[in-house]
Structure 1
Amino acid sequence: MDCILTLVADRRTTALSTADIDTALALSEGRRDRTLSAEEAEDIACPRLPHDRFETIRAALASRRIDVLMTPADGRRKQLLVADMDSTMVANETLDDIAAHAEALRPGVGEDVAAVTRRSMNGEIDFATALRDRVAVLAGLPSSLLEEAWKSLRLNEDARTLVATMNAHGARTALVSGGFTFFTARVAKLCGFSEHHANRLVVTGDQLDGTVEDPILGPDAKLAQLRRLLALDGRSDSAALAIGDGANDLPMLRAAGLGLAFHAKPVVRQEIGNRIDYTSLRTALFAQGYAVSDFVLD
């Protein structure tokens, strides 16, 4: 039994039942290993499953809103967390929010920016080009729009719990975003990340300049940050947990020992095997073998 199958139920709408666990046991030919949270999260020890059987288990439990993840039994707890911000740690797409708040001043800008964001996150447009194009349409608008967007920002459920728990168990934690430092600095402080990295919007006086400073922090830079942080402690990729939702997260998700697609775009769902489709960020802790009694709750 060299792998662990972790079942996590969406506790807002359902509870993990004996029948759910029995279904996974039968399909995986595994054995019950540990209850991580009563009626919510269960570990099952199993052999490494071929892709089609893993997907069969996931499909069998999908109607019950149960996430299914598979990890090696050894080295489950990661020593580095690298997390995306927009639509991962926070519920918002912050650039879209800036544009939405600009609608009264420049009608149509909100949907124009949101449309490019969707194509970029699905991998249809080069990230750097998409970012520059979206920022350009904001030129001349008041920088106070950043504060307006901040007021509407909402952390995703269990964001603080994820970071606080990993911090408490000695992991490095970094927020690495293709968004903007105006937001990452504040979100990092709210959640307790040890550091943050993002793009810098150019502001001249009290207006947005319509440009972003070089170099652009995109997919390759996210991966580079993951590798840099691992190198600080002489660790390999297997020691990292990366979590994100969009195409610009794919390089770091592929490289990390545990890459988690969080309520992800289709292009990411198709490629990343371990996905959080129904549940919250606490599932990233269950996937590492943390029991709910180990959590540092926010």
Structure 2
Amino acid sequence: MQSTAFIVFYSAASSCPEPVGLRRTLAAAGHEVIEETAFTGAGRSGARWEVAGTVRQLRALVNPLDAQLARSEDPAVRGTAIAVVPAELVRAKKLLLVMDVDSTLIKQEVIELLAAHAGREAEVAAVTESAMRGELDFAASLHARVATLAGLDAAVIDAVRARLELSDGAAELIAAFKAAGHHVAVVSGGFAQILDPLAAELGLDFARANDLVIAEGKLTGAVNGTVVDRAFKEVMLRTWAKELGISMEHTIAAGDGANDLDMVGAAGLGVAFNAKPLLRDAADARIDLPRLDIIANLVGI
């Protein structure tokens, strides 16, 4: 049986132009385009091609073209991307999507919102940025940032929760996956006190984050238990997939920073969402537009 994979390309344009040289490059290497399907959505348009060939073969051809698009300074192609998606993901009856939370599921960084109440937002934001670029050990940086919250009234948790904004397309993405019978989970280096109510509201299957220590109605500046770092995020991806009886080939992981590297690398499809360079270079697909529901377009939902 002939191996096939899907090549997906999209842009912010209302009518997505076919990437220059893509069809010619495929034909020159002997890869036939079997079927073409166009798609549109809020803030983007694109197409999904089923192409004869293996994922490895097609990525060897497509990734250099995608890298050129990523480096382009032409505003007409800004945000345009090409990705190769395994056929088994597009055809799977049951998928598991696991997402990071801060700057992925939501637009903000929760630790910075909390730190603002302590007058330490700029200091904490600088540490967060460095950690997401992979320049600092995440666990050590988390402990240092949480320490700045010591003494805050626990009521700030409700105040911060009220300020959360879902990323554009996040609700639509979750609804589409759930309607198709798939599973959605989130794993965060943030805090369970913020995340758990949001996860319940969105109807997510699983959620895991760090646990802030609260004593006598005040934040102590510490967290309970194991820190949710990059290694722990991969552990949760694998744990949830096993619990659901889903193979790792049928998982998708999306994030924006170095703390997401391990789960993005382990998933059947790893997605970098408006990500730091370290993750963008490692991911199977990149989204450089503000719409999180492009993930649904990638896998044909």
Instruction: State the TM-score, normalized to the length of structure 2.
Output: 0.86
Aligned ranges for residues 177-256 of structure 1 at < 5 Å?
Answer: 177-256=188-267
1:90 corresponds to which residue? Answer: 106
Q: In structure 2, how many angstroms separate the alpha carbons of the residues matched to 1:168 and 1:125?
A: 39
Code of the aligned partner of 1:261 = A
1:44 corresponds to which residue? Answer: 49
* 2:24 corresponds to 1:26: yes
* 2:12 corresponds to 1:16: no
Q: Which moved more, 1:72-81 or 1:279-288?
A: 72-81
1:137 corresponds to which residue? Answer: 148
Aligned ranges for residues 39-188 of structure 1 at < 5 Å?
Answer: 40-46=45-51, 47=53, 48-51=57-60, 53-60=62-69, 63=74, 64=77, 65-76=79-90, 77=92, 79-103=95-119, 109-188=120-199
Q: SS of the counterpart of 1:154?
A: coil
Q: SS of the counterpart of 1:49?
A: helix
Q: Deviations over 1:230-282 (max 9, x none)?
A: 11233321011111111111111000001111111121112213111125111
Q: SS of the counterpart of 2:253?
A: strand
Q: SS of the counterpart of 1:162?
A: helix
Code of the aligned partner of 1:5 = I
Does the 8 Å CA contact 1:135/1:211 hold for their aligned counterparts?
A: yes
Q: In structure 1, how many angstroms separate the alpha carbons of the residues matched to 2:244 and 2:219?
A: 39
Does the 8 Å CA contact 1:101/1:148 hold for their aligned counterparts?
A: no
Does the 8 Å CA contact 2:270/2:285 hold for their aligned counterparts?
A: yes
Code of the aligned partner of 2:48 = D
Code of the aligned partner of 1:165 = A
Percent of matched pairs sharing the same residue: 31
RMSD value, Cα: 2.1
Code of the aligned partner of 2:101 = M
Q: Which runs of 5+ in 2 are unaligned?
A: none
Aligned pair partner of 1:284 in 282, 292, 295: 295
Count the aligned residue pairs.
Answer: 281
Does the 8 Å CA contact 2:104/2:167 hold for their aligned counterparts?
A: yes
Q: In structure 1, how many angstroms separate the alpha carbons of the residues matched to 2:60 and 2:291?
A: 24
The Cα of 1:142 is off from its aligned counterpart by 2.0
Q: In structure 2, how many angstroms separate the alpha carbons of the residues matched to 1:191 and 1:159?
A: 10
Q: SS of the counterpart of 2:167?
A: coil
Q: In structure 2, how many angstroms separate the alpha carbons of the residues matched to 1:192 and 1:234?
A: 20
The Cα of 1:223 is off from its aligned counterpart by 1.0
Code of the aligned partner of 1:44 = W
Q: In structure 2, how many angstroms separate the alpha carbons of the residues matched to 1:101 and 1:162?
A: 32
2:5 corresponds to which residue? Answer: 3
Q: Deviations over 1:132-181 (max 9, x none)?
A: 11001111122222222223211001111111111122222211111001
Q: SS of the counterpart of 2:228?
A: coil
Does the 8 Å CA contact 2:95/2:182 hold for their aligned counterparts?
A: yes
Does the 8 Å CA contact 1:9/1:279 hold for their aligned counterparts?
A: no
Q: In structure 2, how many angstroms separate the alpha carbons of the residues matched to 1:83 and 1:282?
A: 12
Q: SS of the counterpart of 1:242?
A: strand
Q: In structure 2, how many angstroms separate the alpha carbons of the residues matched to 1:123 and 1:111?
A: 19
Q: Which moved more, 1:231-240 or 1:117-126?
A: 231-240
Does the 8 Å CA contact 1:9/1:67 hold for their aligned counterparts?
A: yes
Q: In structure 2, how many angstroms separate the alpha carbons of the residues matched to 1:209 and 1:60?
A: 47
Cα separation, partners in 2 of 1:9 and 1:191, compared to 1, 3 Å: farther
Q: Which moved more, 1:84-93 or 1:48-57?
A: 48-57
Q: Deviations over 1:166-213 (max 9, x none)?
A: 112222221111100122112213322122111110111221101000
Q: Structure 1: which 4+ aligned runs deviate by more than 4 Å?
A: none
Cα separation, partners in 2 of 1:208 and 1:269, compared to 1, 3 Å: same
1:295 corresponds to which residue? Answer: none
Cα separation, partners in 2 of 1:218 and 1:60, compared to 1, 3 Å: closer
Q: Deviations over 1:102-156 (max 9, x none)?
A: 22xxxxx111111111111111111111111100111112222222222321100
Instruction: State the TM-score, normalized to the length of structure 1.
Output: 0.87
